[in-house]
Structures are given as structure tokens and as C-alpha cells.
A and B are shown apart, each in its own frame.
Chain A
Amino acid sequence: GESVGLHLPTLSVQEGDNSIINCAYSNSASDYFIWYKQESGKGPQFIIDIRSNMDKRQGQRVTVLLNKTVKHLSLQIAATQPGDSAVYFCAENILRGSRLTFGEGTQLTVNP
């Protein structure tokens, strides 16, 4: 399953499928990008990050892709599990800046 930017805030997938969550960021000067997972009633949990001098980074079951040309970021989750159900936020940071600017999030629902 795949979401389309911020215009489709929900994504529903079957357990075991791969998920793709997309994010369009706004500032071409942003140097650092992070994906956070937020479960209901909890704080954002760090998933994976990527610097602007990279276009791909892999973690355990997750991959982040960065396309600076079109200012697009995506999070791929392999073999999605029910425990992956949450809201996923992308966040960006400008070099030497300290504030994170968050996207509006995508609600991922994994159906058993």
C-alpha cells in the first residue's frame, strides 16, 4: 500500500504487505530528515533518519528514500505487522538549525 503526500492521511494495508508512506517537504535548505512513529497517547518514537547527502538508508525492516530534486521523502516498511499501526511523521531540520518541522502525518492501519 502507498500514501500520496499529505493529501491522503490514512493508509490501510494487510499484514505481511509492504507499506510506503510519502512526505513532501517544503524547505530546499533542509539538511536532515527523520521519520517518527507515534502510537496513540504516546510521544513520537524515532525510526530512521537520513542526511541530505544520501538518497537511501536502510534499517531493520525500514528504508527511507530521499529525492531532493522534487523534495520528496518516503518510508518503506517491509512485511508490515499489526504493531506497526500508528501515525507516521516526517520531520526536517535545516543545517545548523535546531527546530524540527513536522509534516501532518499518515495514519497507518495494518489489518490482520
Chain B
Amino acid sequence: NAGVMQNPRHLVRRRGQEARLRCSPMKGHSHVYWYRQLPEEGLKFMVYLQKENIIDESGMPKERFSAEFPKEGPSILRIQQVVRGDSAAYFCASSPISRATDTQYFGPGTRLTVL
């Protein structure tokens, strides 16, 4: 059973370009979460999605950031017009059912570098 998959693992963009990060949850999981980690800091929640629905996006910046989880295919975190402050590791997690005690399993992350 494959774990959470993320690609690309590393992404380099110039200021003003767009970044697209993909996440395929574990088999049987229909809940996806995105977190951002700045260097030497903990993970910060960004957004929680179920298939075709955004459940909680309270941790996501209001501008330039968007996320989707279509009926078919991976979840996408999209950052438009990237700035240097967007440089971070972005982690995706998945869980089978959204309850307080369902563990979230993390992918290897995408490390975004904005030049």
C-alpha cells in the first residue's frame, strides 16, 4: 500500500511565476490536508479538503493561494505570482475519515525555492 505521494519533490521558481504542487493521498483516503513548514519551524495548517470540497481553508493566505481536490486525480496546491517568502516545504497529509482521532499520514513534501 503506497503512502502519500507528492510531486515534484523539489521545485524552483522565479518571482512572479506560478507553482503547482500535487498530492495523491493514500489508497482509501478521501481527506487531504496541506501544511507549510518554514526552515527550522513546525508545520502550519493551510487547508483541508475532501473530494470536490474545501472544508477548512482558514490557514491559507487569502491571495495568490488556492487548492483543489477534484473527483479524479491528485489534490493541487497552486501558488500564483510567487514571492521569496513562499519558499518553504509544503507537506500533504491524508486520512480515511475526518474524526478527531484519525491519524494524518504525511507525504515526503515539496520543497519550493523562489529565486
Contact surface of A with B, Cβ cutoff 8 Å:
31-32, 34, 36, 42-46, 49, 51, 89, 91, 93-105
Q: Which of B31, B42, B107 contacts A43 (CB 8 A)?
A: B107
Which residues, 75 to 96 on B, are CB-close (under 8 Å) to A? Answer: 91, 93
| Whole-angstrom distance between the Cβ of B31 and the nearest chain A Cβ | 7
24 A–B contact pairs at CB < 8 A? A32-B100, A32-B101, A42-B109, A43-B106, A43-B109, A44-B91, A45-B106, A49-B101, A91-B43, A93-B100, A94-B100, A96-B99, A97-B100, A98-B31, A98-B98, A99-B33, A100-B35, A101-B45, A102-B35, A102-B42, A102-B44, A104-B42, A105-B41, A105-B42
**Contact in complex: A43, B91 (CB < 8 Å):** yes
| Whole-angstrom distance between the Cβ of A69 and the nearest chain B Cβ | 21
Q: Which of A43, A46, A99, A103 contacts B103 (CB 8 A)?
A: A46
**Contact in complex: A44, B43 (CB < 8 Å):** yes
**Contact in complex: B44, A98 (CB < 8 Å):** no
**Contact in complex: A102, B43 (CB < 8 Å):** yes
**Contact in complex: B98, A44 (CB < 8 Å):** no
Q: Could you say which interface size class chain B belongs to?
A: 20 to 34
Closest to A49 in B: B103
Query: Does B69 count as interface, using CB distance less than 8 angstroms?
Result: no
Of B33, B48, B103, which is in contact with the most chain A CB atoms at under 10 Å from its CB? B103
**Contact in complex: B109, A98 (CB < 8 Å):** no
Closest to B46 in A: A99
Q: Which of A34, A91, A98 contacts B56 (CB 8 A)?
A: A98
Closest to B105 in A: A46
| Whole-angstrom distance between the Cβ of A23 and the nearest chain B Cβ | 11
A51 to B98, CA, bound (A): 15
A91 to B100, CA, bound (A): 12
Note all chain A residues with C-beta closer than 8 A to B101: 31-32, 49, 51, 93
Note all chain B residues with C-beta closer than 8 A to A97: 100
